[in-house]
A and B are shown apart, each in its own frame.
Chain A
Amino acid sequence: MKLVVAVVRSEKLTEVLEALFRAEVRGLTLNRVQGHGGETEHVETYRGTSVKMELSEKVRLEIGVSDHFVEPTVKAILGAARTGLVGDGKIFVLPVEKVYRIRTGEEDQAAVTPVETPLGA
Chain B
Amino acid sequence: MIAADVAWMLISTALVLLMTPALGFFYGGLVRGKNALNTLMMSVASLGFVGVAWALAGYSLAFAPGNAVLGDLSRLFLRHVGLEAQGTIPHLLFMAYQGSFAIITAALVSGAIVERMRFGAYLTFITLWSLLVYAPVAHWVWGGGWLAGLGALDFAGGTVVHINAGAAALVAAVVLGARKDYARQAILPHNVPFTLLGAGLLWFGWFGFNGGSALGANPQAVLAFTNTLLAPAATLVIWTLLDLKRSGKVTAVGAATAAVVGLVAVTPAAGFVSPLSALLLGGLSALPSYYALLWRARTRLDDSLDVVAAHGLGGTVGALLTGVFAEKAWNGSADGLLFGNPGQLAVQALAVLASIVFSAVMTVLILKAIALVMPLRATPREEGLGLDVSQHGEEAYAQAEGAILLLPEVATPGRAAVTAPALEGGAA
Specify whether A and B are partners.
yes
**Knowing A34-B399, A83-B381 touch, does A50 contact B389 (C-beta < 8 A)?**
no
User: Which of B185, B389, B401, B405 contacts A55, CB < 8 Å?
Assistant: B401
Q: Is the CB of B402 within 8 A of A54?
A: yes
Q: State whether the Cβ of A33 lies closer than 8 Å to any Cβ in chain B.
A: yes
Contact A90 B402 (CB under 8 A): no
- What is the bound-complex CA distance between A6 and B234, given in angstroms? 52
Confirm or deny: B372 has a beta carbon within 8 angstroms of a beta carbon on chain A: no
How many chain-B residues does the 8 Å CB contact rule pick out?
23
List residues 23-60 of chain A with CB under 8 A from any CB of chain B: 33-37, 41-46, 49-55, 58, 60
- Closest residue of chain A to B394 (Cβ to Cβ) is A44
B385 within 8 A of A: yes
Indicate with 1 or 0, residue by residue over A51-86, a CB within 8 angstroms of chain B CB atoms.
111110010100000000000000000000001010
Q: Do B398 and A7 touch across chains, with their CB atoms under 8 A apart? A: no
Complex Cα gap A34–B185 (Å): 23
Q: Give the complex CA separation of A9 and B398 in angstroms.
A: 17
Q: B254 at the A/B interface (Cβ < 8 Å)?
A: no
Question: What per-residue 1/0 map shows which CB atoms of A1-34 lie under 8 Å from chain B?
Answer: 0000001010110100000000000000000011
Contact status A33-B395, CB under 8 Å: no
Most buried by A among B184, B385, B403, B406: B403
A55 with B402, Cβ < 8 A, contacts A45-B393, A83-B381 known = yes
Residues of B near A9 (CB, < 8 A) are 384
* Contacting pair B394 A46 (CB below 8 A): yes
Interface of A is mostly: strand
Q: Name A44's contact: one of B181, B381, B393 (CB within 8 Å).
A: B393
Contact in complex: A7, B402 (CB < 8 Å): no
Partner of B389, one of A7, A12, A42, A60: A42
Residues of B within 8 A of A58 (CB): 428
Least CB distance from A2 to B in Å reads 17
From residue B390, how far is it (CB to closest CB) to chain A in Å?
9
Closest residue of chain A to B184, judged by CB? A14
On chain A, the residues within 8 Å of B423 by CB distance are 36, 54
B218 within 8 A of A: no
| Whole-angstrom CA separation of A52 from B401 in the bound complex | 11
Question: Is B404 interfacial (CB-CB < 8 Å)?
Answer: yes
- Whether B340 sits at the interface, judged by CB under 8 Å, is no
A35 touches B403 (CB 8 A): no
Task: Decide if B401 touches A35 in the complex (CB within 8 Å).
Answer: no
User: Nearest Cβ in chain B — how far from A85, in angstroms?
Assistant: 8
Closest to A45 in B: B393
A52 lies within 8 A of B406 (CB): yes
Q: Are B384 and A44 in contact (CB under 8 A)?
A: no
Contact of A53 among B181, B381, B384, B402 (CB under 8 A): B402
Contacts of B401 in A (CB 8 A): 34, 55
Asked if B406 and A7 make an inter-chain contact with CB atoms under 8 angstroms apart, the answer reads no
Tell whether B421 is near chain A: CB-to-CB under 8 Å: no
- Residue B426 at the A interface, CB < 8 A? yes
Residue B417 interfacial (CB < 8 Å): no
- Complex interface: chain A residues within 8 A of B393 (CB): 42-45
Q: State how many angstroms separate the Cβ of A52 from the closest Cβ of chain B.
A: 5
Say yes or no: B427 contacts A60, CB within 8 Å: yes
The residue on B at minimum CB distance from A52 is B404
B419 CB-CB contact with A under 8 Å: yes
Establish whether residues A90 and B427, one from each chain, have CB atoms under 8 Å apart when the complex forms.
Answer: yes
Of the residues B181, B398, B404, contact of A54 by C-beta under 8 Å:
B404
In the complex, the chain B residue whose C-beta lies closest to that of A42 is B389
**Known pairs A11-B385, A54-B403; A89 contacts B428 (CB<8 A):** yes
Instruction: Give every chain A residue within 8 A of B395 (Cβ-Cβ).
Output: 44
Closest to A8 in B: B428
Per the 8 Å Cβ criterion, residues 258-316 of B in contact with A are none
- Chain A's nearest CB lies how many Å from the CB of B423? 5
CB pair A51–B406 under 8 Å, yes or no, is yes
A7 touches which of B185, B385, B427 (Cβ 8 Å) = B427
Closest to A38 in B: B428
14 other contacts beyond A55-B403, A89-B428, with CB at 8 A cut-off? A7-B428, A12-B384, A14-B181, A14-B185, A33-B428, A43-B393, A44-B393, A45-B394, A49-B405, A51-B406, A54-B419, A60-B427, A60-B428, A85-B381
Binding site for B on A (CB under 8 A): 7, 9, 11-12, 14, 33-37, 41-46, 49-55, 58, 60, 83, 85, 89-90
- Report B's interface with A, CB cutoff 8 A: 181, 184-185, 381, 384-385, 389, 393-395, 398-399, 401-406, 419, 423, 426-428
Top 4 A-B pairs ranked by shortest CB distance?
A55-B402, A7-B428, A11-B384, A35-B428
